[in-house]
Amino acid sequence: MAITTCVFDAYGTLFDVAAAARQAAAEPGQDALRDKWPELANHWRLKQLQYTWLRAVADAHADFWDVTQDGLDWALEATGLQGDPALRQRLLDLYWELQAYPEVPAMLKALKDGGMQTAILSNGSPPMLEGAVRSAGIGGVLDDILSVESVGVFKPHARVYDLVCDRFGCERSNVLFVSSNGWDAAGASGYGFVTAWVNRAGEPMDRLPWTPAHVLSDLTSIPELAGV
């Protein structure tokens, strides 16, 4: 069946999750962070994801902003940067203003010009996602921003993916779902979406029962995959 709806994970897919640490490290007075920001960013993202999985299987859901702060606190301690409240606050403030990857605005515009329905489907809470979309200036090329907060469980639970067809009235096979997380793309494949994994880092394929239909290095070719 033809693709009618293109849905994107947010963090790491449309928005560069390393941007907060990278930008903070470039600011005056951040000498301690300057050499450690890549390690901090990696720890922060990994713990953020791990905590969503643990909370999902333990039925202990929390707002993604709480999970993001918990992940940062672990990362700061792991890199020896704990005990600096100003640095912690600066990193959290910057997370609300994450930069979109360079190809994102033109890619989304091409989809909309081609008649596609477009949306974000994310673990992020609505205020976080709205802040990132506003900062990136891409609200005009998105039909909706779907958050797990409406179902109270994190991805890759099927209730999250249900949000897409409930919102757009489409079949699963009409959806092209795009994520930079291999596990997310795999989970969406098992659910029945056509999937694209944006593997920017060239990582190995996750050993899961399902695999994404497409593996890409960036988002440039998404309109072609969608048939526009």
138-179 pLDDT, tens digit per residue, is 999 999 999 999 999 999 999 999 999 999 999 999 999 999
What CA–CA distance (Å, rounded) separates 143 from 107? 14
195-207 exposure pattern, b = at least 16 Cβ within 10 A, e = fewer:
bbbbbeeeeeebe
Tokens of 89: 């606050």
User: What is the predicted pLDDT for the residue at 173?
Assistant: 97
What CA–CA distance (Å, rounded) separates 109 from 142? 9
Q: Collapse the DSSP code of 145 into the 3-class scheme (helix H, G, I; strand E, B; otherwise coil) and give the result.
A: strand
pLDDT band at 122 (very low <50, low <70, confident <90, very high): very high
Q: Which alpha helices (DSSP H) does 58-103 contain, by range?
A: 64-78, 85-95
pTM for the whole thing? 0.95
User: What is the predicted pLDDT for the residue at 154?
Assistant: 98
Tokens of 196: 């694209």
Mean pLDDT of 48-70: 97
Statement: residue 1 has pLDDT above 90: no
Tokens of 200: 């920017």
Residue of 66, 165, 178 lying closest to 122 (CA atoms): 178
Q: Which alpha helices (DSSP H) does the chain contain, by range?
A: 19-25, 31-34, 37-57, 64-78, 85-95, 104-113, 126-136, 158-168, 182-191, 222-226
Q: What is the chain's length?
A: 228
* Per-residue pLDDT reduced to its tens digit, 78-116: 999 999 999 999 999 999 999 899 999 999 999 999 999
* Per-residue pLDDT reduced to its tens digit, 197-227: 999 999 999 999 999 999 999 999 999 999 9
Phi/psi at 100 (5° precision): -80, 150
Mean pLDDT of 123-137: 95
Q: Collapse the DSSP code of 219 into the 3-class scheme (helix H, G, I; strand E, B; otherwise coil) and give the result.
A: coil
DSSP, res 227 = T
Q: Collapse the DSSP code of 222 into the 3-class scheme (helix H, G, I; strand E, B; otherwise coil) and give the result.
A: helix
User: What is the predicted pLDDT for the residue at 144?
Assistant: 98
What CA–CA distance (Å, rounded) separates 96 from 19? 11
Q: Collapse the DSSP code of 140 into the 3-class scheme (helix H, G, I; strand E, B; otherwise coil) and give the result.
A: helix
Q: Is the peptide bond before 85 cis (omega within 30 degrees of 0)?
A: no
Respond yes or no: is residue 9 known to be catalytic: yes
* Per-residue pLDDT reduced to its tens digit, 5-45: 999 999 999 999 999 999 999 999 999 999 999 999 999 99
